[in-house]
Amino acid sequence: MKTIGVIAEFNPLHNGHKYLIDTCKNELNADRCIVVMSGDFVQRGAPAVMNNFSRAKAALLSGADIVFELPVYYSLGSAEFFARGAVSLLDRLGVVDYLCFGSEYPDVDKLNAISDILIEEPTSYRDELNSALKSGLSYPAARSLALKNNLTKILDEASLAEADALLSSPNSILAVEYIKSLKILNSTITPYPILRTGSSYHSKDLLPLPSSSGIRAWLLSEKSENIKDSSRKVLCSVMPDAALDTISSYEGRFLDSSDFSSLLCYRLLSEEKNGYTDYLDITKDLSNKIASSLYSFTDTASFCMKLKSKDLTYTRISRCMMHILLGITEKNMNEYKEDGFTSYGRILGFKKESSDLISLINKKSKIPVFSRLKDADKILNPLEKRLFDETLNSGKIYSLIREGAVCNEYRKVPLII
């Protein structure tokens, strides 16, 4: 049995995602596809537009065989932590042969060259990174500059120009982190990038191969009460039928960060006297900036824009706000990192015909795997259980806003298709 792994958010799933799964299955002659998918909160520092089970269903009906949920500490992490958490989970399942992903620049040699610099961190790279940070650049911009300066030593002019574009392309940045994570883990999984085509990452155009951003923008801007009916007419050219079905049958609201503004403001006010440095990614300077701007808070998006600066990107601040909202702390993250990125395998759903793959995972997995939540209490160690509980709590907050009531996660059952 040959198995591919895909790391995704499917926020929501569109034609480009299905193209990735179908193309990689065909080119690699793979029998099965395992997806590790963000839960109710995603890497750009926001709630998913639709909940975890709805997006998992779309994945299972569009080529995935099993969908695992990525714990919230990694789904809301930087590109590095997002990749390390997801790759660690896939690697420990013990059954994945290829990690498949889209990249604007799928040249494995260049992706390898960049990942090697990030792993080895030569003195020249560290010095240039620190110099760029001291000049006031954000970490992503400083890292990109230091990388480019180091790549001049190993790439010709044409390759260097492509690498320059690669370092500013979101999916290619993630591709580098995936390869870097595989190398750090000494994983036997082979990276398999394919060319990402269609709309750019941030494009709002609803083209046949769109970005998720464009679909989300439409879902969140459409005020009609008949949105779930009109979605099929508007989105039929950009999403597979299965994904359209999840939208037209979706119960509850489509969410964005603004829906959590009141809860976030409450959390910020509650922590005002203590400051915010206990939370992941929040420095003393940023904590002070949050406190000094607190009484101008109106909504999440405008507050993030107010805090944005040359050295702090909007996405970084958005993640920090979600860390505060959900109680994601620096201390806990450090413990998960020291544990090799604590993992467990919560199955959101699977295909009946893939039961052979589940049996193989149960034999080979180095982490506990379960689909019924009551089993988690019996098989998780204390660190795994804490990460699991924190991820469940984030789902409760999500359901409170989406449905107006706190959902009992233990009553949810995995999807079987």
Q: How far apart are CA 250 and CA 45, in angstroms?
A: 23
Residue 78 domain boundaries = 3-104+192-197+341-416
Residue 184 lies in a domain: no
**pLDDT of res. 204:** 57
* Cα separations in angstroms, 336 against 329, 344, 355: 11, 12, 30
User: Is position 380 within any domain?
Assistant: yes
CATH number at residue 68: 3.40.50.620
Q: State the pLDDT at residue 325.
A: 98
* Shared-domain flag, residues 99 and 7: yes
Of 395, 335, 305, 344, the closest CA to residue 76 belongs to 395
295, 381: one domain: no
Rounded distance between C-alpha atoms, residue 20 and residue 239, angstroms: 13
Contacts of 354 (CB under 8 A, 6+ apart): 32, 65, 66
What three-state secondary structure class fits 327?
A: coil
Q: Are both 351 and 302 inside the same structural domain?
A: no
Same domain (yes/no): 367, 401:
yes
On whether both 267 and 322 belong to a single domain, the answer is yes
Position 261 scores a pLDDT of: 98
In-domain check, residue 247:
no
Type of residue at 149: N
User: What stretches of 46-188 show up as alpha helix (H) in DSSP?
Assistant: 52-60, 72-75, 79-93, 108-120, 123-134, 139-151, 157-166, 170-184
How would you write the pLDDT of the chain (417 residues) with one tens digit per residue?
A: 899 999 999 999 999 999 999 999 999 999 999 999 999 999 999 999 999 999 999 999 999 999 999 999 999 999 999 999 999 999 999 999 999 999 988 888 889 989 999 999 999 999 999 999 999 998 888 988 898 888 876 666 666 666 777 787 888 899 999 999 999 999 999 999 999 875 555 555 566 666 788 889 888 876 445 666 777 788 888 999 999 999 988 988 899 999 999 999 999 999 999 999 999 999 999 999 999 999 999 999 999 999 999 999 999 999 999 999 999 999 999 999 999 999 999 999 999 999 999 999 999 999 999 999 999 999 999 999 999 999 999 999 999 999 888 888 888 889 999
Same domain, yes or no: 290 and 306: yes
Count the neighbouring beta carbons within 10 Å of the beta carbon of residue 355. Answer: 13
Residues 388 and 302 in one domain: no
The residue whose two tokens read 């915010």 is: 276
Assess whether 9 and 89 both reside in one domain: yes
* Unique residue bearing structure tokens 């000494």: 186
Question: Which tokens belong to 9?
Answer: 């958010």
Q: Answer whether residue 79 is part of any domain.
A: yes
Among the three residues 292, 311, 334, which one is the final residue of a domain in this structure?
334
Please say which residue of 272, 300, 334 terminates a domain: 334
- What total number of domains does the chain contain? 3
Residue type for 353, please?
E
This prediction's pTM: 0.95
Q: Looking at the structure, do residues 127 and 60 belong to the same domain, yes or no? A: no
Question: Is 206 inside a domain boundary?
Answer: no
177 is a domain residue: no
Phi/psi for 276 (5° steps) reads -125, 15
Q: Say if residue 93 is in the same domain as residue 115.
A: no
Q: Does any domain span residue 231?
A: no
Tell me what pLDDT residue 224 has: 46
Among residues 353, 412, 372, which one has the least CA distance to residue 64? 353
In a domain, 99, yes or no: yes
Give percent helix, percent strand, percent coil of the chain, each to the nearest 5. Answer: 55, 10, 30
Question: Contact, 72 vs 391, CB < 8 A?
Answer: yes
Q: Which residues of 379-395 are buried (b: 16+ CB within 10 A; e: fewer)?
A: ebeeebbebbebbbebb
Asked if 351 and 392 sit in the same domain, the reply is: yes
pLDDT computed for residue 20 by the predictor = 96
Instruction: Give me the pLDDT at residue 410, please.
Output: 86
**Residues 22 and 97 reside in one and the same domain:** yes
Tokens of 56: 């998992």
